[in-house]
Structure 1
C-alpha cells in the first residue's frame, strides 16, 4: 500500500473510532435538519396555525355578530371565544360599535395581547381585524344607503360582502430562467440552510485530529519518514471532502424521503445532477479549507473546538442560516454577503426554488471556490510551518 493510501486509511479509521466526531458530522446535522424543518413548517407554509382569541362585545347586535363571522372567515380553523380564563389575545369592541361604523375618522376595536404572543401572530391578527372591520363598515354603508335587500339573512349578507371585497391573487415564483412557477414549499427553504450549517462543522474534527497528532508525536514521526507537508495535507483533505459529499447526499435524501414520512413537506430537487455536484464540491472545499486554517491556527484541541464552533455559528448567524436575510435590516443583509454560507444558500435556493441550472449557480460556486483557494493557501502555508517547526520538546 502506498504511503498516501495508508495515511488516508488512517484518517478514516481515526474517524470511525471517534464517536464524538461522527456525532458532529452526521447525527447533529440530521437532528438539526429534522427539528428545524418541523419547527419551521408552520412558519413557512401557506396555512398558518389556528388561533384562539376572545372577542368582547359589550353590546351584542347584528353588527358585532357580522364582525365575528367576518373575523372567523379571515382566521380559518381558529376559535373566536366570547370569554376565556386563559391568557389569549382579546379584541374589544366599543359599546357604541354599531353606531360609529360610518364615522370618519373611525376608531376601531382595541387589541390586547399576552406577552408570549409573537410578532407574526400579532400582525396576522391585526390584518384579520382590519379586513373584518372594513367588511362590517361596508355592510353598514350599504344598509344606510338602502342598497342591500332586506330579505337577506346573515349568511347571505356575508357572502355578498365577501364577493365585493375579495379578489383572487396568484403568487408565483420567478425562476432563474425568468419563467414563473408555483411557490416553494417549506422544506425547499429550510433544509438547505441546515444542510450547509452541518457541513461546515467538518472543521471541528479536522482541527481536532491535527492537534492530537501533533501532541502525540505522530506528526514528528511522519516527518522522520520523509513525508512532505503537502502529502500530509492532502491525506487529511481527501477523507474529509468525501465525508462532506456523503453528508450532502445523506441530508438531501432525508429531505426527499424522510420528511414526507414524518408528515412534513418533501424536498423536491429540480435541475441537473451536475449542478448539485458542482455545489456539493464547492461547498465541501470551502468547509474543508476553513478546517485546514483552523487546524493550523489552533494550539490545542480546546482552541480548535472554540474557534471552529464559534466561527461556524457566526457565519451562520450573519449568512441567513439562522435568520432569513429577507427579515434582516439592510446593514445586516449587506454583511451577510461576506459569509460563504450565504453564497451556498443563494446557490441552493436558485436550484430548488428558482429551478436554475449549472450556469445560474456558477457565480456563487465561484465565490465558494475562491474562498476555498484563499483560506486553503493560507492554511497550507501555516500548516507547512507548523509541521517544519514540530519537535519532540514542543508543548502546547
Structure 2
C-alpha cells in the first residue's frame, strides 16, 4: 500500500471512530435543516396562510356585502366572523358606510389588531382592506354616475369591478440583481443554508485530529519516517473533501425526498447537474482550506474547538445562514459579503430560485476558489513550519 493510501485510510478510520465528529458533520446539519424548514414553512411559504378576523357591520347594506366579498377575494381561504370575544384582528364599518363612500376626504373603516398580531399579518390585512375599499368606492361611483344598468346582478357587478381593477403584471427575475433570499421558500433557504453550515464544520475534526497527532507523538513519527509535509496535508484533505461531497449529496437528497414526507415543501433542483457539481467542489475546497489553516494555527485541542466552532458560527451569523439576508439591515447585508458562506448561499439561490446555470454561479465559485487558494496556501505554509518545528519534547 502506498504511503498516501495508508495515511488516507488512517484518517478515515480515525473519523469513523469519532462519534462526536460524525454527529457534528451529519446529525447536526440534518436536524437544523428539518427544524428550520419546519419553523420557516409558514413565514416563507409561497401562499400566505388564511386569516381569521372579525368584520363588524352595524347596518347591513348592498355596499357592505360587496365590501365583504371584495375583502375575502383579497384573503383567500380566510374567515370573517360577525363577532367574537377572541383576540382577533377587527374591521368595523361605520353605520353610514354606504352613504359616505363618495365623500372626499373619505374616512374608511376602523382597523384594530391584537397585541400578538405579527407584522406580516398587519401589512397583509392593511393592503387587503385598501383594495377592497377602493373596489367598493369604484362601484359606488359607477352606480352614482349611472354607468351601471339597473338590471345588472350582484355577480355581474362584481365581475365588472374586478375587470376594472385588475392588471397583468409581467415579472422577471434578474440574476445579476443579487439578493434572492427574499424570494426563496422554506426549503430553498433552509436546505442550502444548513448544508453549507455543516460542510464548513469539517474544520473542527480536521483541527482536532491534527492536535491529537501532535500531542500523541504521531506527527513526530511521520517526520522521522521522512514523509513530506505535502503528503501529510494531502492525506488529510482527501478524506474531508469526500466527506463534504457526501454531505452535499445527502442533505440535498433529504431536501428533495424527506421534507415532503414530513408535510413540508420539498426542494426542487432545476438547472444542470454540472452546476451543482461545480458548486459542491468549490464549496468543499473552501471548507477544507479553512480547516487546514485552523489546524495549523491552533496550539491545543481547546484552541482548535474554539477557533473552528466560533469562527463557523460567526461566518454563518453574518453570511445569511442563521438570518436571511433579505431581512437584514442594509449595512448588515453588505457586511455579509465578506463571508464565504454568503457566496456559497448566493450561488445556491441562483440555481434554486433564479433558475441559473454554471455561468451564472461562476463569480461566486471563483470567490470560493480564491478563498481556498489563499487559506489553503497559508495553511500549508504554517503546517510545514509546525511539522519542521516538531521535537521529541512535544510528546506529552
> Structure 1 residues 301 and 156 mapped into 2: Cα distance closer, same or farther (>3 Å)?
farther
SS, match of residue 269 in structure 2: coil
> Structure 1 residues 102 and 232 mapped into 2: Cα distance closer, same or farther (>3 Å)?
same
What does residue range 55-134 of structure 1 map to in structure 2 within 5 Å?
Answer: 55-134=55-134
Instruction: Name which of structure 1's ranges 324-333 and 130-139 shifts more when overlaid on structure 2.
Output: 324-333
Alpha-carbon displacement from aligned partner over 1:278-297 (angstroms, at most 9, x marks no partner): 21111001011111122222
Alpha-carbon displacement from aligned partner over 1:317-369 (angstroms, at most 9, x marks no partner): 32232333334333222222211112212222333333333333222211101
Alpha-carbon displacement from aligned partner over 1:38-65 (angstroms, at most 9, x marks no partner): 3333433331111112223344433333
Instruction: Name which of structure 1's ranges 362-371 and 212-221 shifts more when overlaid on structure 2.
Output: 212-221
Asked if the contact 2:71/2:128 (under 8 Å) is kept, the reply is yes
Instruction: Name which of structure 1's ranges 285-294 and 88-97 shifts more when overlaid on structure 2.
Output: 88-97
> Structure 1 residues 89 and 296 mapped into 2: Cα distance closer, same or farther (>3 Å)?
farther
Residue 393 of structure 1 deviates from its aligned partner by: 4.4
- Corresponding residue of 2:375: 375
- Corresponding residue of 1:240: 240
Asked if the contact 2:216/2:395 (under 8 Å) is kept, the reply is no
Asked if the contact 1:89/1:114 (under 8 Å) is kept, the reply is yes
- Corresponding residue of 2:312: 312
- Corresponding residue of 2:204: 204
- Corresponding residue of 1:179: none
Tell me the C-alpha RMSD between the 2 structures. 2.6
Residue 395 of structure 1 deviates from its aligned partner by: 9.0
Q: 2-side partners of 1:135 and 1:113: how far apart?
A: 23
Instruction: Name which of structure 1's ranges 23-32 and 154-163 shifts more when overlaid on structure 2.
Output: 154-163
* Structure 1 stretches lacking a partner, 5+ long: 177-182
Q: So what's the TM-score if we normalise by structure 2?
A: 0.88
- Corresponding residue of 1:180: none
- Corresponding residue of 1:360: 360
What does residue range 1-396 of structure 1 map to in structure 2 within 5 Å?
Answer: 1-174=1-174, 187-391=187-391, 393-394=393-394
Q: 2-side partners of 1:185 and 1:170: how far apart?
A: 21
> Structure 1 residues 312 and 105 mapped into 2: Cα distance closer, same or farther (>3 Å)?
farther
SS, match of residue 201 in structure 2: helix
Q: 2-side partners of 1:47 and 1:206: how far apart?
A: 43
Q: 2-side partners of 1:257 and 1:249: how far apart?
A: 12
Instruction: Name which of structure 1's ranges 259-268 and 192-201 shifts more when overlaid on structure 2.
Output: 259-268
> Structure 1 residues 390 and 84 mapped into 2: Cα distance closer, same or farther (>3 Å)?
farther
Residue 119 of structure 1 deviates from its aligned partner by: 1.8
SS, match of residue 317 in structure 1: helix
Residue 392 of structure 1 deviates from its aligned partner by: 5.1
Q: So what's the TM-score if we normalise by structure 1?
A: 0.88
> Structure 1 residues 84 and 217 mapped into 2: Cα distance closer, same or farther (>3 Å)?
farther
Q: 1-side partners of 2:280 and 2:333: how far apart?
A: 24
Q: 2-side partners of 1:5 and 1:149: how far apart?
A: 88
SS, match of residue 73 in structure 1: helix
Equivalent pairs counted in the alignment come to 390
Asked if the contact 2:204/2:291 (under 8 Å) is kept, the reply is yes
Q: 2-side partners of 1:367 and 1:167: how far apart?
A: 42
Q: 1-side partners of 2:195 and 2:32: how far apart?
A: 8
Q: 2-side partners of 1:58 and 1:306: how far apart?
A: 65
Alpha-carbon displacement from aligned partner over 1:210-263 (angstroms, at most 9, x marks no partner): 222233333333333333332222211111011001111112222233233334
Instruction: Name which of structure 1's ranges 12-21 and 322-331 shifts more when overlaid on structure 2.
Output: 322-331
SS, match of residue 80 in structure 1: strand
* Structure 2 stretches lacking a partner, 5+ long: 177-182
SS, match of residue 308 in structure 2: helix
Asked if the contact 1:201/1:308 (under 8 Å) is kept, the reply is yes
SS, match of residue 41 in structure 1: coil
